[in-house]
Every structure is written in C-alpha cells, then in structure tokens.
Amino acid sequence: MTDFFQESFLPIWNAGGTLMYPLVGLALLIFFTGMEIVVYLNELRGKPASDRTIEDWVNTPSHAGGEIQSMIEYGKAALPDQRDVINRFSEMRNEHIARIDRRRTMLAVFVSAAPLTGLLGTVIGMLSTFKGLAISSGGQTVNMVADGISEALITTQLGLVIAIPGYILMMLIEKRQNALDTLITRIEATIARKARQANWEI
C-alpha cells in the first residue's frame, strides 16, 4: 500500500499542482451533499408505492412509519375539512421538497465547479508550458514544459472524473424527488377523498 502511494499516487498528485486540493475538496462536498439528500429521501420513502399500500398507510399511519406517518397524521387531523387537508399537504410539500431543492442547487454548484476548476488547471499548466518554452535553456525548458503539460492534463481529467458521477447522482436524486412528490400527492388525494366521503355522509 505504501509503495503504491509513493510510486503511483504521489507523483500524480504532485504533477497536478495546487489545484488538486480544491478538486479533492469539491469531490468530498459532492459526495457528502449527495449522500445527505439520498439519506433524507430514504427516510421519506422517496420511491413508488402501490395504491393498496397507500390506502393501508392512510387507514393505519403507523404502518408507514417515519416522516410519512407524521404527514398522514397531520393531514388526517384536518378531516373532514377537505380544503384544510389540501392546505396542510401543500404546507408539507413546500417544507420537504423545498429543502431538497436547496440541497440540489448546492450540489449542482459543486458539480459544475469541478470541470471548471480542472479547466483552470489546464490554463495554469499551459502558462507554465509557454513559460518553459520562453526560457529555452536546454534541460530546464524540457522539465518546465513537461510539468506544465502534466498539470494541464491531470487537473482536467480529475475535474471530469469528479463531475461525471456527480451528474449521475443529481439525476438519481431528481428521480427520487419526483417519486416523493408523486407519493405525497397520492396520499393527499386519498385523504381528500375520505374528506369528501365524510362530507357526503353528513
């Protein structure tokens, strides 16, 4: 492990220059922000559920558990007032979906910044290359040109390696968020239907 670090990883890190630090920082921010959103969506059951499952949850909220149970209980507390049920679910949707949107916006900024930071490394590396060509003093010139090209290529590569999984993660989060929004809407419709039935019986 130590040999791999010294012979493979460390030379690449050194060749990448100072921008390797912010790139790694962005990678960590993307990972932890994305995982925070995924965990939050898992707690909210941000995935499809059958009509029978939703009906069971509405009839017995404890079967849903977690935050979904709290949503159902809060929504059912407004029965038989259908308008109040709709208002309560609108309030809950704004609370949860808006929180996810804020995190997604932050994640999108980090993901977009990764390839741009790599591009900045490319510019810095090319400047070092041109500087080496301008000096033109034999071996020193060759070394400076080689270092500049290495920095230009490595930072660009690392920026793309960070950004591509980040974009995939954003797409998965968006899919789960849409599933959560649909789930909340279906639960709202089920409780609203019960409110209409209660009003008819009255």
> Looking up tokens 């507390």, which residue turns up?
77
**pTM for this entry:** 0.78
Write out pLDDT tens, residues 159-179.
899 999 999 999 999 998 888
25 domain-assigned: yes
139 domain-assigned: no
Which H helix or E strand runs over 7?
Answer: none
Task: Look at 16-20, 78-82, 94-98, 109-113 and tell me which has the smallest mean pLDDT.
Answer: 16-20
The pLDDT score that the predictor gives to residue 49 is 76
Residue 5 DSSP class = I
170 domain-assigned: yes
Query: Average pLDDT for residues 179-196, to the nearest whole number?
Result: 86
Residue 8 DSSP class = I
In the predicted model, is pLDDT for residue 4 greater than 60?
Answer: no
33 domain-assigned: yes
In the predicted model, is pLDDT for residue 202 greater than 60?
Answer: no
136 domain-assigned: no
Question: How many domains is the chain partitioned into structurally?
Answer: 1
Q: What does each C-alpha distance from 60 to 6, 55, 66, 89, 174 come to in angstroms?
A: 59, 8, 13, 18, 29
Which structural domain range is residue 25 located in? 19-113+163-196
More confident residue, 16 or 192: 192
CA distance linking residue 186 with residue 86, whole number of Å: 12
CA distance linking residue 45 with residue 28, whole number of Å: 25
